[in-house]
């Protein structure tokens, strides 16, 4: 399949490299606005077609699939035109800027019988694969909470707030692991650098199954943390993505109902049972995304990160943004 | 000064030991409902007066100061009677069960010219002392956020929720470090074990100065965490109370406003500058509380954990509980 | 059984407390040279017999067992006299100052039919128990190496070098886990503070089974480490005694003989398989020692830390000291 | 300057990439025995000259500098011929297989007035730069020990033992930081996989200044460690190269001579003072090597990793190997 890549910025080169080595695809064209980046590509790949705008890729008759790695505001126009031209689309996360856009993209993909996939790369990491198995097999028991901390000293982007930058990772992972959509979202944030663009955000979600989810997102932390805890009635797990050796640790839930008389006795340590850290697949996740895109196009698999999944993530972002706006409004003069 | 201790349960023995070795105090009486505990004390301290109820201590004419280490519901009646009888009072945290009770206790202490102090032990740890100096000296710059995670596999107490159990630590520390009261509190929780008693709670506070505070409290975590991050315009710090060697780490804030054109460049590491971990005083904190109680009674110092401070903590608890009740109400059928 | 304790310094109070709560023993006398320590004991335990010298304990006709917690030079005279007087003996580690002394103590115990036990407390920790099971059950496979790092910023004792201070722990643990005595020991050290008393020592031991053991001992490390790695043909384990949550981690050995052609391919990560950290018993180890002493005296069990084991530890110390002396001699002018 | 690279295996591509982006060099030829690797290069760089053997590079008249990244046995013949042909040489570590070879290489470089440099890449990391400053400025005081642990689950190379694989890093770093050569080396090892090729090695070195150095090297550890501790009379430091955030921690030495009477008092914590972790330069070390090679050739700087330094490292390896051979001989039937 002949692929055109739109956007050769931060993530674009990784997509390029992984599509290039795939036996299923051939990258034939790249669109990138900056002259210097195009020159760089030309030196290394003299045969590659280089374009200034994504329009040229979307319109090209000899391209079968389009990969979109541009700012989120451009996802909808590029993806919709590409699909209407009969091209398969892999688009960076988040899929688009609103639920309305997302619903239209899903409809276009369906009516034009093309594949629409969102690059939620994390779903193809060894860690998320292992957690998916744990959650779906019933080994965790009934899930009661999902608690994520995703903080670092950030890149202050002028057009995106911290939630739109970081939460798509969490939302897509949670959606994949637990398969449930929230009934309500409370969000609160604080703008230190750019007025109106929170750089710290706290989100709490409630789910039909009684599960609670919480997200601590920040560009203002001196220390980077990537930590997710998931609590089930049988097992609990902690995923520390920065631990190179033991990313996932699994614990017995340790919750036991004691007779009332003993409830004032402190549990003498901070954990109850054995700890198990499973071996994880170390394959590059993006290679898995590219394979999955090929398998989906060929009809062999149902995508785990198709348009429907991308839309669910955008719906959570929109719900959270509405709550954030309300709370920033309430707190105006203070944090907005 | 002659001291009577009411309650010889979990914390009582620590209070007893520290008052016993203090040159300022002599423990002359202990009240404890359980026969076995009294027998134990009698064997070791044959001269100690042992009572079944706190009433006997409160009423005793030969006691100058009363230390109250009983369940929170009993704090108000015991402390108020003791003070009305002219006795100084040190009471366990939280000071009492409501703002109304707290205001009355403060008024009684004032009118009877006795010392009312709350045992917020953490304020006398080396870690909190060091942070107090950093925050008060201006070295941190303007504080913008306070973010605490206090989670463990808990003791499910039948009469207290996770917030009343764990948050008094955070609230008293934050109050001491930053000296500011919140204008609003949002709280959300989840009840896994006892209906109506959340065992997970997430709190967000907004402050007049624009600061935001956030608290992640849980009895449902398989791993214990005691981690507080404080962000200032000049420095940021992380306090990990479970790190035996380097409890406090101080970072330059690392926030720099870049020209807009460069804002899409990722900061290549996760931190910017040097890290400094100060030596901390290792003296037992409770010994400091006892000294401070003596110095306050003698009029030498103004207490850092007096009735006013205790009341501010109870006010935050009450505000948070109201929000928690609202949200549990909204979520009823789900998490309440 | 009526117990006399000789020595109430650093470790003595722990022995006192554990013997006191044991149903098998009653502590009736304590010998301690320092007046202040005796006064302290008298205040708390008015009925206790207090002596200035161990001789009084050893000679007392109403004492069944003697516990010796004095400097190592005094172990032999006290223990030998006590046993000759028909008393059972529990002595602090190391059992004595030389192999000659050790052999005599073992002989005396045998001829007088009394129990001689050495307080190698570590053998009763949950960590060492778990490792014992792993090594003895064959689960580890054939053990090929034992590698210990036991370093801290030390107490510079004027009469003992770092090896005699720290290595008895390692030697007794290794002896218990692996049950093998070394055929040769190489030792090298360095004296920073007291000439002739190394404060850093490196030991390497060779064993009949081909196993190699290595010990890194130091009083000069700014950071405390207590880390032992044991390699077997099937499993390897790392014991980090300062990790409160996961003291022991167990790994598959991960060694696979590859065809020669592939041997220049780097293994892409630093570990191969799952990691497992077992739950450990949290009971105080010294309570186990006291129970074991009682069970040994009553003839119910064969001691795991009897005179024979104590002698093997002293033999390793003596072998290592001889090598250390040779190497310090060679390095004279430099490190001796 | 026109560069020829010999060897395009594991490290060769990194050298290629860094020389390619350097403004000082142009890579014009690569020699590599394997056809598949050459084909790969041809596709990406159609203008590059590709050779089957290093001889062609060494003999080429249009090449100014040769970079040698082949097995150690080939370093001497390739480097000596290249220098005799007037070419500058950068050779992978270790420089060569024996002191005799090393002395000849140094002599050839001198007589032919060309630059001979060894790629001890670590010397250009931010961590080693920072430690060099600390050691050379006198801030550490007099250095008394150097203690390194460099262990992992290894690549069992059929032609090199663990010491020749791992120790060149340690030896070159120690030589650079401390500028002292050992007077004696004791080495002991153990062969698990390939007879005669130790996969565990313990080395101890003594120095004229009284310093002691120790190296724990292993391919048999389930956990990777890269930890070096350096003790000085004023400061001590620990370099943990696997800690992404705080690779270097600096401590006050904490050694104080107490009056004899107090020497039996335990220091109550495991460390004494503040801990400081400096910001480190994050530039890729190999880029620094390439710059340094250019600056050395142009005569602007004296190389920190020139032939003399490379020879000192080989001399330490040879001394250690002799001791290892003796000890393996002694232990034959056991570990050899």
Say yes or no: B73 and B133 in one domain.
Answer: no
What 3-state DSSP class applies to B42?
helix
Q: D335: pLDDT confidence band, cut at 50, 70 and 90?
A: very low
Please give the backbone phi and psi of residue D137, each rounded to the nearest 5 degrees, phi first: -80, -10
The predicted pLDDT at position C335 comes to 36
Q: Do D279 and B273 touch (CB under 8 A)?
A: yes
Question: Considering chain A, what percentage of its residues have pLDDT values greater than 70?
Answer: 91
Q: Do B200 and A212 touch (CB under 8 A)?
A: yes
Does a structural domain hold residue A70?
A: yes
Say yes or no: C77 and C221 in one domain.
Answer: no
Residue C88 tokens read as 């059972």
Say yes or no: B324 and B177 in one domain.
Answer: yes
**Strand C275-277 relative to strand C212-218: parallel, antiparallel, unpaired?**
unpaired
The yes-or-no verdict on residue B271 having pLDDT over 90 is no
Say yes or no: B55 and B146 in one domain.
Answer: no
CA B240 to chain centre: 17
The predicted pLDDT at position D266 comes to 40
C246 has a chain A CB within 8 A of its CB: yes
A145 has a chain B CB within 8 A of its CB: yes
Q: CA angle at residue C224 from C220 to C229, to 5 degrees?
A: 110
C11 has a chain D CB within 8 A of its CB: no
In this structure, the number of other CB atoms found within 10 A of the CB of residue A186 comes to: 23
Say yes or no: B175 and B319 in one domain.
Answer: yes
Query: What residues contact residue D250 under an 8 Å CB cut-off, 6+ apart?
Result: D134, D235, D236, D237, D275, D276, D277, D278
Nearest alpha-carbon partner for D84 in D103, D58, D121, D120: D58
Query: What residues contact residue C185 under an 8 Å CB cut-off, 6+ apart?
Result: C203, C204, C205, C316, C319, C320, C322, C323
Nearest alpha-carbon partner for B224 in B128, B123, B154, B146: B154
- Partnered with residue D184 across adjacent β-strands are D206
Average pLDDT score over residue span D111-123 = 98
Which of C64, C80, C114 marks a domain boundary? Answer: C114
Q: B272: pLDDT confidence band, cut at 50, 70 and 90?
A: low
> Residue D221: its chain A contacts at CB < 8 A?
none
Say yes or no: A251 and A274 in one domain.
Answer: yes
The yes-or-no verdict on residue C80 having pLDDT over 80 is yes
The yes-or-no verdict on residue C109 having pLDDT over 90 is yes
Q: How far apart are CA A216 and CA B216, in angstroms?
A: 9
Query: What residues contact residue B336 under an 8 Å CB cut-off, 6+ apart?
Result: B191, B195, B196, B328, B329
Q: C273: pLDDT confidence band, cut at 50, 70 and 90?
A: confident
Q: C268: pLDDT confidence band, cut at 50, 70 and 90?
A: very low
Average pLDDT score over residue span C111-115 = 98
Say yes or no: D147 and D275 in one domain.
Answer: yes
Q: How far apart are CA C184 and CA D330, in angstroms?
A: 10
Q: Do B282 and D271 touch (CB under 8 A)?
A: no
B228 has a chain A CB within 8 A of its CB: no
Of A184, A231, A265, which has the smallest distance from its Cβ to B220's Cβ? A231
Residue D15 tokens read as 């050298």
Does a structural domain hold residue A301?
A: no
Under 8 Å between Cβ of A173 and A312: no
Closest CA–CA distance from residue C226 to any residue of chain B (Å): 14
Query: What residues contact residue B244 under an 8 Å CB cut-off, 6+ apart?
Result: C242, D270
- Of A154-158, C65-69, C111-115, which gets the smallest average pLDDT? A154-158
Nearest alpha-carbon partner for C271 in C254, C250, C247: C254
Residue A72: CATH number of its domain:
3.40.50.720
A193 has a chain B CB within 8 A of its CB: yes
Say yes or no: D165 and D101 in one domain.
Answer: no
Query: Which residue in C133, C238, C246, C252 has the most chain A C-beta atoms within 10 A of its own C-beta, making it the best mutation to test that interface?
Result: C246
> Residue D275: its chain B contacts at CB < 8 A?
245-246, 276-277
A73 has a chain B CB within 8 A of its CB: no
Of A157, A218, A251, which has the smallest distance from its Cβ to B264's Cβ? A157
Closest CA–CA distance from residue D323 to any residue of chain A (Å): 35
Q: B255: pLDDT confidence band, cut at 50, 70 and 90?
A: low
Residue A189: CATH number of its domain:
3.30.360.10
Under 8 Å between Cβ of A120 and A111: no
Q: How far apart are CA A219 and CA D323, in angstroms?
A: 54
Question: Considering chain D, what percentage of its residues have pLDDT values greater than 90?
Answer: 78
Q: Do B275 and D244 touch (CB under 8 A)?
A: no
CA D226 to chain centre: 13
Say yes or no: A96 and A141 in one domain.
Answer: no
The yes-or-no verdict on residue A155 having pLDDT over 80 is no
Residue B122 tokens read as 């953490």
The yes-or-no verdict on residue A184 having pLDDT over 70 is yes
Q: C225: pLDDT confidence band, cut at 50, 70 and 90?
A: very high
Residue A313 tokens read as 């993530």
B277 has a chain D CB within 8 A of its CB: yes
Q: How many separate domains does chain B show?
A: 2
Q: A263: pLDDT confidence band, cut at 50, 70 and 90?
A: very low
Q: How far apart are CA B164 and CA B154, in angstroms?
A: 13
Q: Which of A254-263, A269-278, D205-214 has the highest mean pLDDT?
A: D205-214
Of A44, A223, A244, which has the smallest distance from its Cβ to D245's Cβ? A223
> Residue B221: its chain C contacts at CB < 8 A?
none
Count contacts between A and B (CB, < 8 Å).
167
pLDDT per position as a tens digit, A302-335: 999 999 999 999 999 999 999 999 887 555 433 3
Question: Considering chain C, what percentage of its residues have pLDDT values greater than 70?
Answer: 91
Query: What residues contact residue C151 under an 8 Å CB cut-off, 6+ apart?
Result: C216, C217, C218, C219, C220, C221, C223, C224, C225
The predicted pLDDT at position D272 comes to 60
Q: Do C275 and A246 touch (CB under 8 A)?
A: yes
pLDDT per position as a tens digit, A85-118: 999 999 999 999 999 999 999 999 999 999 999 9
The predicted pLDDT at position A144 comes to 93
Q: Tell me the average pLDDT of chain B.
A: 90
Structural domain containing residue D74: 2-114
The yes-or-no verdict on residue A120 having pLDDT over 60 is yes
Q: Do A244 and C277 touch (CB under 8 A)?
A: no
> Residue A153: its chain B contacts at CB < 8 A?
254-255, 267, 270-272
The yes-or-no verdict on residue D260 having pLDDT over 60 is no
C273 or A109: which carries more pLDDT confidence? Answer: A109
Closest CA–CA distance from residue C37 to any residue of chain D (Å): 15
Q: CA angle at residue C6 from C2 to C7, to 5 degrees?
A: 140
In this structure, the number of other CB atoms found within 10 A of the CB of residue D311 comes to: 22
The yes-or-no verdict on residue C163 having pLDDT over 60 is yes
The predicted pLDDT at position D330 comes to 52
Q: What is the ipTM of this complex?
A: 0.88
Query: Which residue in C133, C268, C277 has the most chain A C-beta atoms within 10 A of its own C-beta, making it the best mutation to test that interface?
Result: C277
Query: Which residue in C267, C274, C281 has the most chain A C-beta atoms within 10 A of its own C-beta, making it the best mutation to test that interface?
Result: C274
- Of A251-260, B197-206, C165-174, D209-218, which gets the smallest average pLDDT? A251-260
**Strand A184-190 relative to strand A200-206: parallel, antiparallel, unpaired?**
antiparallel
What 3-state DSSP class applies to D257?
coil
Q: D265: pLDDT confidence band, cut at 50, 70 and 90?
A: very low
- Residue appearing with tokens 């630093």: C270
Q: Do C223 and D202 touch (CB under 8 A)?
A: no
Does a structural domain hold residue B225?
A: yes
The predicted pLDDT at position C153 comes to 86
Say yes or no: D172 and D29 in one domain.
Answer: no
Q: Do C223 and B245 touch (CB under 8 A)?
A: yes
B222 has a chain C CB within 8 A of its CB: no
A261 has a chain B CB within 8 A of its CB: no
A11 has a chain B CB within 8 A of its CB: no
A316 or C192: which carries more pLDDT confidence? Answer: A316
Query: What residues contact residue B137 under an 8 Å CB cut-off, 6+ apart?
Result: none
Under 8 Å between Cβ of C97 and C76: yes
A14 has a chain B CB within 8 A of its CB: no
Q: How far apart are CA C321 and CA C99, in angstroms?
A: 12
Does a structural domain hold residue B309?
A: no
Interface of C with A in 20-59 (CB under 8 A): none
* Helix and strand element counts for chain D (H, E): 9, 14
The predicted pLDDT at position B235 comes to 93
The yes-or-no verdict on residue A243 having pLDDT over 50 is yes
B258 has a chain D CB within 8 A of its CB: no
The predicted pLDDT at position A264 comes to 45
Average pLDDT score over residue span C264-285 = 72
Average pLDDT score over residue span B37-59 = 91
Does a structural domain hold residue D292?
A: no
Please give the backbone phi and psi of residue C230, each rounded to the nearest 5 degrees, phi first: -125, 125
Which of C93, C114, C135 marks a domain boundary? Answer: C114
C46 or A124: which carries more pLDDT confidence? Answer: A124
Say yes or no: B70 and B153 in one domain.
Answer: no
Which of C52, C81, C114 marks a domain boundary? Answer: C114
Q: Do B279 and D272 touch (CB under 8 A)?
A: yes
Task: DSSP for D208-252, please give it.
Answer: TTS-EEEEEEESEEEEEEEEEEEEESSEEEEEETT-SS--EEEEE
Does a structural domain hold residue A304?
A: no
Q: C329: pLDDT confidence band, cut at 50, 70 and 90?
A: low
Q: How far apart are CA B16 and CA B44, in angstroms?
A: 13
The predicted pLDDT at position A194 comes to 79
B278 has a chain D CB within 8 A of its CB: yes
Does a structural domain hold residue D96?
A: yes
The predicted pLDDT at position C255 comes to 64
Q: How far apart are CA D136 and CA D130, in angstroms?
A: 10
Average pLDDT score over residue span C61-88 = 97
Say yes or no: D175 and D319 in one domain.
Answer: yes
pTM score, two decimals?
0.90
């Amino acid at each position: 399949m002949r692929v055109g890549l739109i956007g050769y910025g931060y993530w674009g080169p990784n997509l390029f490299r992984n599509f290039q080595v795939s036996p299923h695809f051939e990258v034939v064209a790249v669109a990138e606005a900056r002259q210097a980046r195009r020159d760089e590509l030309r030196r290394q790949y003299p045969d590659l077609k280089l374009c200034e705008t994504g329009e040229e890729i979307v319109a090209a008759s000899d391209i079968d699939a389009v990969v979109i790695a541009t700012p989120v505001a451009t996802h909808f126009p590029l993806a919709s035109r590409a699909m209407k031209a009969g091209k398969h689309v892999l688009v960076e996360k988040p899929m688009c800027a609103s639920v309305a856009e997302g619903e239209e993209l899903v409809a276009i993909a369906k009516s034009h019988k093309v594949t629409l996939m969102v690059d939620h790369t994390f779903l193809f990491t060894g860690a998320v694969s292992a957690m998916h198995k744990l959650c779906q097999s019933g080994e965790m028991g009934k899930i009661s909470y999902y608690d994520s901390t995703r903080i670092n000293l950030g890149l202050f982007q002028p057009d995106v707030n911290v939630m739109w930058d970081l939460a798509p990772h969490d939302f897509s992972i949670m959606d994949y692991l637990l398969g449930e959509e929230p009934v309500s979202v409370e969000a609160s944030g604080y703008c230190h650098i750019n007025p109106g663009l929170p750089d710290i955000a706290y989100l709490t979600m409630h789910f039909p199954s009684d599960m609670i989810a919480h997200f601590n997102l920040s560009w203002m932390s001196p220390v980077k943390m990537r930590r997710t805890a998931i609590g089930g009635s049988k097992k609990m797990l902690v995923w520390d993505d920065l631990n190179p050796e033991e990313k996932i640790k699994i614990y017995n839930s340790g919750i036991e109902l004691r007779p009332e008389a003993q409830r004032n006795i402190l549990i003498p340590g901070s954990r109850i049972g054995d700890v198990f850290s499973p071996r994880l697949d170390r394959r590059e996740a993006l290679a898995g995304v590219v394979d999955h895109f090929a398998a989906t196009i060929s009809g062999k698999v149902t995508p785990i990160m198709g348009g429907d999944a991308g839309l669910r993530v955008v719906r959570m972002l929109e719900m959270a943004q509405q709550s954030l706006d309300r709370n920033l409004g309430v707190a105006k003069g203070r944090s907005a």
